[in-house]
Each structure stands twice: as C-alpha cells, then as structure tokens.
Chains A and B, each alone.
Chain A
Amino acid sequence: MSTMTDAAPRAGAAPEPPAWISPLSAVRHGLLLTWRSLIRIKNNPEEVLGLTFMPIMFVALFVFVFGEAMMGDWRAYRDFTIPGITAQSVIFATIGTGVALNTDIEKGIFDRFRSLPVARSAPLIGAILGDMVRYLLTVAMVLLVAVVIGFRPDNGLPGVLAATAVLMLFAFALCWLSAFVGLLLRTPMAVNIFGSLWMFPLTFASSTFVPTDSMPGWMAAFAGANPVTHVTDAMRGLMLGGPVAEPLLWTLAWSLGLVALFFPLATRAYRRRS
C-alpha cells in the first residue's frame, strides 16, 4: 500500500465530466431524472393501480351513484361532472409530488445526486416533469373511462385537448405548492396528511360535482372564489360549450399567482433542505 504507483490510468476510463455544467447538460440531467420518475411509476404496482383504478372508481361512483339524484338523468350528470372529475383527479395527484420529493430527500436519494457533478436543479426538475407526465396519464385514464360510458363532448377532440392544456397549466402551478409543502415538512406521512387536508375542501367545495348555485350563500361564495371552480368551469366551457373567457382568465391569474409565490419558496426550500 505504501509503495503506491501513481494512480494507474484506469481501464475503461469514465468519461471526463465537464468542468462546468452547461445549460444543455442541465436539461439532459433533468430529463434523465424525469425518466427515473417514469420508471418508478412503471415499476410500482400501487402507482399503476392508483392511476388506473382510481379514475374508474371515481367516474363510476359519481356518475352512477349520484347521477340520477343530482340531475334526474345520469347521462346529463356524466357530461356535467366529467370535466370536474378530471380536474379533481389531477389536483389530488399533485399531493404525490410533495410526498415523492419528501421521500427522496428522507431516503438520501437527492444527496446521492447532489454528490455527483450534476446540475443542482436537476432532481427537482426531474420530479416535476415526471409528475406532469403522471398528471397527463391521469387525465387520459379518466377520459378513457368517460368515453367508455358514453361521454361525447360537443366540442370534440380540440375541446378536450384545450381543456387538458388548461388543467395541466393549473396543475403545474399547483405542484409548486405541493413541492414546497413536501420540502418543508419532515416526513412523507405528514406531507400526505397535510396535502389531503386542504385538498378535500378545495375540490369538493367547488363546481366540480355540483353547480355552485345549489349551495348555501357562504359556501357558494367560497366555491365561487375557489380556483378549482374556475379550472372546472373553463374545462367545461372548452369541452361542452359555454362561457370560457372569464374562468380561463381566473385560472391563468391563479396559476401565475401560485407560481410567482411558490416557485421561489419551493426552490429556496430545496436549496436549504439537505
């Protein structure tokens, strides 16, 4: 050991990592870690079950259990509530973003990435982008089930795509809030509980499942201000026809506001947490 010959040129030498991280390699790192998030979904049976079974159950339960009681005709209720269930499913899925981030940090996985010559932002970018794909899969699943039970929105595919785009924008904004919570709280369990706690009032006290004018005044006021109502209304308008401009503007405003507030907070918490 003491007669060390100078660190011999190693066989099958590793590629020399660049002396600095170019924006291009930062993007590459981010995409590689996005790939990781997606593989995790694929490898994880619970994740796959959540992505497929939950939409089936939600659509079936709401449409067939409440449909007749709500609107006297489950088909009318189906058309009313499918945009809402789509939004609700994705908004709930954003909790997973914070939980996954927290788990990765707790398990030291981000430490491993951070000890490599890898862009510091890459793990966060990978987590968020991977989740955007997860949200898209959720949308696709809900709509698939909806189509199976006869959902044929008036505005056709363009309407559906536009509504999906609006929802993805809002989900992108909301996932920074979830990321912030995930980076702030100690354990994945706490993140999950905290997330679910305010997700329920947010998604239920909105126009997702019932028209807001059926609610008592104070509740209708809350639901009217609730961004989930705006998102749902915008999606409804885009898919089925009806007013779009106002809810769309509100959705944009809320999304911008959420990003403006929680993107800096989350990235700061991310840099601090280690």
Chain B
Amino acid sequence: MTDAIRAEGLVKRFKGKTALDGVDLVARTGAVLGVLGPNGSGKTTSVRVLSTLLRPDGGHALVGGFDVVKQPHQVRRLIGLTGQYAAVDQGLTGTQNLVLIARLLGYSRPAAKARAAELLERFSLTDAGGRPAKTYSGGMRRRLDLAASLVGRPSLLYLDEPTTGLDPHSRNELWNVVRGLVDDGVTVLLTTQYMEEADQLADDIMVLDHGRVIATGTPEELKNRAGHQVLQVRPVRTGRLADAAGVVESVTGSRTRSTDDSVHASVTDPGMLPEVVRRLDAAGIAVAELSLRKPSMDEVFLAITGHAAEDTAALNGHSPERTNA
C-alpha cells in the first residue's frame, strides 16, 4: 500500500522567516502520525501545506498519490481538516454548519440533514444542534469543528492541536474518537505539543523544531533514544537542590535538569544508584524521594532538542536556540 502522505524537503518562508526548513514527512496509510513540536516549530504550517491551503516555497508533497500543488482538487477530495482554531461559523447553528458542508460536498438536502444529525449525535451535540454556534462552549465548538471535518468521510484527517484547551474528560473523548476513526481505516496526522498525547495516539512520531525534523520514530524508539532510565532525586529541603544536582552530575556524568523540588538526570547504567545514595549521604543531603524510571515524553523531547517543550522552560534562558531565534 502506498503511503498516505509523502513529503520531501518542504520549505516555507514568511517574509524572510523560515517556518519550514526542509521537512521530510511520511504518514503510513491507516496509521496515526504524531507531529510533535513547541510553539512556532512549524506544525500548523506543515498541516496547511499538506492540506493545500499554503503553497510551499520548496520541496513537494504527495497526498494519496496526488501532488498538493498541482492537483489540489484531488487532494481535497480525500482530506478532512480540523485546524488549530475552531473554524465553525458562529452565526450558523450546529446543524446548519454541518448541512452546509454536506451540501457543498454534493449531498442532497435530505441526505445532508441525515448526515448532520448523525454527526451531532456522535459528538453529543444533538441537543445543541438548533442553537447558533456562538452560544457553544469552547469544547462544544471544537467538537462541532471536528464533526465538520468528518462530513465527507475523509480517508485522511488532519488534526492541528485538537485537544489544546480541552478539559481532561473532553480530551479523553476526543482520543477515543480518533481511535475509532483509525479503526475505520482513516489515516490521521495529528499535531500536538503534548508528549502524552503523541504517546497515547501515535504509531509514528515526528519531532519538529524551528521548521526542521529533528527526530522520527515510534514512541518507544524515541524514549529509548533519551537514555534508558531517568534518575529522580528529591531532597527534603529544596535549599539543597543545587547540592544534590552537583552530586548527581558528578556520579552520572550527565547533565541534570531541576524542577521546583527535584533533580532529574538520564542514566545509562542503573548500577550507579548505590553510589549516588552514598555520596548524597556523605554530603549530608536528606532525601525524600529517590527513584529510577522510564523517561517521559517530555524528557524525550528535552533530550532530543536540548530544550523543553514548554515555552516557559525555554524562556527561562536554558535554551540558547530559542533566545536568539
């Protein structure tokens, strides 16, 4: 089976600012590709190029075997797009939004109404279907937006940060919807800033940073790349955090990362644990918690990019790339 998306060397510049800097991307048919990256890394730009909304300045992309620049109409027949910000018409009711799209796609009036009702039901919006979308909550609007992108039963669905701003319950619901679509054979390209989301949903992950692909692989492969385990030390007194970091660094030889109350370091040899304990004890640092665990996707991201996924971490000055960007 051919790949659902195959892009090579995509470049996109905005007034001298390079948003995509040679992006290669493959989405396997029937699988979920997670595109992971911090703010401004080029996720939305990639989605817009692959959904024919933006012309790339360089490179090319095939979607379902069709060229996004030369055969945009054929591409549009295959895809559904849920953008980063809900693109529902606030002046129309939920039903009218969906009926309009169905009619644009060639459904007859009764068929369009039936399809709208079906989707409203599926996204628990039946009761709100008759109300203008401007009266919806953010979560309802997002669900309506997703429903709108599914009207034409696309075989390839783009989801640009679909769960940003959703409460945990809605997020779980959305994840289940995505899983259901995948079971129906839909290929999904999902962008996210949340490592956990990529971990939960994606079969393949591609990490973007500053418009470049800096890593690709399955979630497991990426985790392994971040070192085998993570050592976490939480001193009783946060005042000793720096001292603890010094000890861990000297034993493990790897750079540490500190949160509010603990020190983290990636560890390749678990055998050094007793040595860490001994040295902490010798330094008189009382330890509340000391553990060895698999790395989280956040740490994976840190290991790959050299800076944390969240902007706040980047703004703390630990990330030279971002400050001079």
Contacts and interface: CB of A to CB of B under 8 A. Distances in A.
B221 to A, nearest CB: 16
B164 to A, nearest CB: 14
Given A8-B184, A40-B92, A107-B85, A14 B52 contact: no
Q: Closest 9 A-B residue pairs measured CB to CB? A: A7-B185, A40-B91, A108-B87, A115-B81, A15-B106, A117-B76, A4-B30, A112-B87, A14-B153
Contact of A115 (B30, B51, B85): B51
B106 A10 contact: no
Contact of B105 (A8, A15, A35, A36): A15
Contact of B76 (A12, A43, A115): A115
B142 to A, nearest CB: 12
How extensive is the interface on chain B, given as a class? 35 or more
Contact of A118 (B90, B104, B183, B186): B104
Interface in B146-173: 148-149, 151-153, 155
Interface in B213-271: none
Contacts of B184: 7-8, 10
Given A112-B149, A118-B76, 13 more contacts: A1-B31, A5-B185, A7-B155, A10-B153, A14-B107, A19-B73, A32-B100, A33-B104, A43-B132, A112-B81, A116-B105, A117-B105, A274-B53
Interface string B78-98: 011101011111111100100
B83 to A, nearest CB: 5
Contact of B53 (A20, A35, A114): A114
Nearest to B102: A14
Interface in B38-78: 48, 51-54, 73-74, 76-77
B65 to A, nearest CB: 14
How extensive is the interface on chain A, given as a class? 35 or more
Interface string A1-35: 10011111010111101111100010001001101
B182 A116 contact: no
Interface string A149-160: 000000000000
Interface of A: 1, 4-8, 10, 12-15, 17-21, 25, 29, 32-33, 35-36, 39-40, 43-44, 107-109, 111-118, 122, 274
A107 B145 CA distance: 12
B87 A274 contact: no
Contacts of B183: 1
A170 B30 CA distance: 54
Given A108-B83, A112-B87, A32 B103 contact: yes
A17 B91 contact: no
A146 to B, nearest CB: 30
Interface string B15-40: 00000000000000011000000000
Interface of B: 30-31, 48, 51-54, 73-74, 76-77, 79-81, 83, 85-93, 96, 100-101, 103-107, 111, 115, 118, 132, 148-149, 151-153, 155, 182-186, 203
A200 B107 CA distance: 45
A39 B97 CA distance: 11
A107 B103 CA distance: 21
Contacts of B54: 274
B105 A43 contact: no
Which of B89, B90, B96 lies at the interface centre, i.e. has the most chain A CB atoms within 10 A of its CB? B89
A273 B101 CA distance: 22
A17 B106 contact: yes
B30 A36 contact: no
A111 B81 contact: yes
B66 to A, nearest CB: 11
17 contacts: A4-B185, A6-B185, A14-B152, A15-B105, A15-B107, A32-B104, A33-B100, A33-B104, A107-B90, A108-B85, A108-B86, A112-B101, A114-B52, A115-B79, A116-B76, A117-B76, A274-B53
B83 A21 contact: no
B97 to A, nearest CB: 9
A111 B77 contact: no
